[in-house]
Structure 1
Amino acid sequence: MEFRDKIVLITGANRGIGKALVEACLKKEVKKIYACARDKNALSVFQDERIIPLTLDISNQDQRLAAANMALDVQILINNAGVLHPGSLFGESTHDFREDMEINYFATIEMMRAFLPVLMKNKEARMINIASIAKFTNFPFIAGYSASKAALYSISQAARIELAQHNIPVHIVNPGAIDTDMNKGSTMQMTAPHEMAMNLLIDVEAEIEDIIPDKIGKSMYEIWERSPKELEALSRQLFFQN
């Protein structure tokens, strides 16, 4: 598989990982990118005729359907849009937990459902869902986010199994800490978004289905492979440091 000459749709494309994915796809010489954001004006940073800006709040049903009806030539759907609220399980409110789950899980499910008819009509179609290394253990200082990404990983596995009969691969990306606004203020040595994005695309081209595109994610996965309880212990250590 090659990204060259493919038509891609990327959600949450205005900043962070999404913006880096747009730039990486351009370097991979894709044919067209539908770059989506809740505020289309935030996409004006891109100066390339291959980019089609779309207003898309993935939690808005009308906007999801409008995007699917417009972008009928999409071959690669990259579900990147998401939210992160800091907070522990026994904090003041579960409101943020509900929003994490609503956006990161339910809205992403609806994106997959909305675009499946489009993908089934186009050649070499596939989905790429951005989950998290938090799939492997919950980080209690971002407990709701961790749970929502674990749920996204699980439902993406369901999509992978179901869509195999249609020859539509589903790639699940589990990054660790990436140097974006979501992790602003962290002292960790994080991978830059552009490096993470290019690693992701290279792994997709290599037909790797479960992708860990950064150094922190890989180190945490190696710990989990040795012992899930060891990664849980690391999570506990990080929680009491915060």
Structure 2
Amino acid sequence: MNLSTSTALVTGANRGLGRALTAELLSRGATVYAAARNPDQVDLPGVKPIALDITDPASVTAATKATGDVTVLINNAGISTGGNLLTGDPDNIRRDMDTNFYGTLSVVRSFAPQIAANGGGAILNILSALSWFSFPELGAYCAAKSAQWSLTNSLRVQLADQGIRVAGLHVGGMDTDMTRDLDGPKSAPADVARLAADGLANGAYEIVADDISRQVQGGLAGGVTALYPQLP
């Protein structure tokens, strides 16, 4: 698709990968709505800041009505509470699911008719290598991202005949606020944003952004023992 003639909406656009995605799309000539719970935090010149809390149905509806010309939707907004599925606060586990799964679904259900009415386009869901692999200490986030991956697979089939191509971006560690306390290799958000934009432009269904994600993806074919060799 031609991003220079597209109108994109990026959720969670005020920082991290969302900000980098917004900047990358702008650099390619797209018109961009930069969505955030507090649009005053959006500091990129040339964008259209818009209020959007993806966990609030009224906010999602208001953002949809305030636009009208969106052809590319990037579902970047998400959280990780660090919830352990066995010992964590159930409210935090629900927050992970409410944001990463139900929030993404709410935005897609609201904006997909708009994209279809504008002749079709694309939806990109920001997933994770942890869509495919689970760390128990981050079990709530992993479960929510796995559900979001399944959501992505369903939507790409359901929306194809409306001219909407649904893609998923899988990435491991990134140098963002969410991972500031984690060790290990971390990609620069600007590099991931560039790969994501290339994938959208080329019509990719799946964008695997780093070696960690590629390794985990390859391990899926090996079954449980390949992914979790520590099991007896």
**Do both proteins adopt the same fold according to a TM-score greater than 0.5, normalized to the shorter chain?**
yes
Q: In 2, are the aligned partners of 1:40 and 1:55 still within 8 Å (CA)?
A: yes
Q: 1:94 maps to which residue? A: 90
Q: In 2, are the aligned partners of 1:64 and 1:114 still within 8 Å (CA)?
A: yes
What runs of 5+ residues in structure 2 fail to find an aligned partner? none
59, 67, 70: which is aligned to 1:71? 67
In the alignment, the residues of structure 1 paired with residue 28 and residue 222 of structure 2 have an alpha-carbon distance, to the nearest angstrom, of 35
In the alignment, the residues of structure 1 paired with residue 221 and residue 8 of structure 2 have an alpha-carbon distance, to the nearest angstrom, of 33
Distance 1:196 1:61, change over 3 A: same
Q: 1:34 maps to which residue? A: 33
- TM-score under structure 2 length normalisation: 0.94
Q: What secondary structure, in the 3-state scheme, does the structure 1 residue paired with 2:136 have?
A: coil
The 5 A counterparts of 1:53-202 are 53-202=49-198
Aligned residues: 231
2:44 aligned with 1:46, yes or no?
Answer: yes
Q: In 2, are the aligned partners of 1:58 and 1:107 still within 8 Å (CA)?
A: yes
**1:74 alignment partner AA:** V
* Shift, 1:204, TM fit: 1.7
Q: What secondary structure, in the 3-state scheme, does the structure 2 residue paired with 1:190 have?
A: coil
- TM-score under structure 1 length normalisation: 0.90
Q: In 1, are the aligned partners of 2:129 and 2:212 still within 8 Å (CA)?
A: no
CA deviation string 1:99-144 (max 9, x = no partner): 0000111111111111122011113411111121112122211100
Distance 1:11 1:92, change over 3 A: closer
In the alignment, the residues of structure 2 paired with residue 113 and residue 87 of structure 1 have an alpha-carbon distance, to the nearest angstrom, of 27
Q: In 2, are the aligned partners of 1:132 and 1:173 still within 8 Å (CA)?
A: yes
CA deviation string 1:140-179 (max 9, x = no partner): 1110010011111111211111111212110011111111
RMSD value over aligned CA atoms? 1.6
In the alignment, the residues of structure 2 paired with residue 210 and residue 202 of structure 1 have an alpha-carbon distance, to the nearest angstrom, of 11
* Shift, 1:229, TM fit: 2.8
Q: Percent identity?
A: 29
CA deviation string 1:41-74 (max 9, x = no partner): 110x2122xx110111111111111110111000
Q: 1:23 maps to which residue? A: 23
In the alignment, the residues of structure 1 paired with residue 171 and residue 127 of structure 2 have an alpha-carbon distance, to the nearest angstrom, of 7
Q: What secondary structure, in the 3-state scheme, does the structure 1 residue paired with 2:124 have?
A: strand
**2:164 alignment partner AA:** I
What runs of 5+ residues in structure 1 fail to find an aligned partner? 237-242
Q: In 2, are the aligned partners of 1:191 and 1:215 still within 8 Å (CA)?
A: no
